[in-house]
Amino acid sequence: MGADPPHDYGVHAPPVAALLRAYGLPAQVVTHLGWDGLRAQIAAGHPVIAWVVGDLWAGTPVTYRAADGQQVTVAPFEHTVLVTGHTASTVRLINRGVVQVVPRWAFLRSWEVLGQMAVIWGEEPTAP
């Protein structure tokens, strides 16, 4: 945990969405979803899988170039949470199987590190 590629790292949204689709679930990868887009998904009854850093830490994105030349943005301690609700100042999420209510600013700061990467329900993002 906490390493950058090529060391053990984790997985980003595309393979997760592909696996969900293989199980027959409508899943789409989005980046830069934004607060309004996330709120719209939650309002539609669709939890959002969001990529954050650790336990909502600040982080610094790093560009990694794979052996095949492909570039990807990574961050040490990349992690996912399931966002299930919000208020004006908080975000409710499931993190490691535990429901947590966290400050909105902390969630947004950490979610921004990897470009607000998310897996959403459906073929197109729900309009804010």
Q: What pLDDT was estimated at residue 122?
A: 77
Please identify which residue in the block is written with the tokens 């610094």.
60
Half-sphere exposure for 78 (CA within 13 Å, toward CB): 23
Q: What pLDDT was estimated at residue 2?
A: 61
pLDDT tens string, the chain, 128 residues long: the values are 566 666 667 888 999 999 999 999 999 999 999 999 999 999 999 999 999 999 999 999 999 988 899 898 899 899 999 999 999 999 999 999 999 999 999 999 999 999 999 999 976 544 45
Q: Of 125, 8, 120, 12, which Cα lies nearest the Cα of 61?
A: 12
In sequence order, what are the residues at sequence separation of 6 or more whose Cβ sits closer than 8 angstroms to the Cβ of residue 97?
none
Q: Determine if residue 10 is left, alpha or beta; phi over 0 gives left, psi from -120 to 50 gives alpha, anything else beta.
A: left
In sequence order, what are the residues at sequence separation of 6 or more whose Cβ sits closer than 8 angstroms to the Cβ of residue 32?
115, 116
Q: Count other C-beta atoms under 10 Å from residue 78's C-beta.
A: 23
What are phi and psi for residue 8, nearest 5 degrees? Answer: -50, 130
Q: What pLDDT was estimated at residue 72?
A: 87
Torsion of CA 122, 123, 125, 126, to 10 degrees: -60
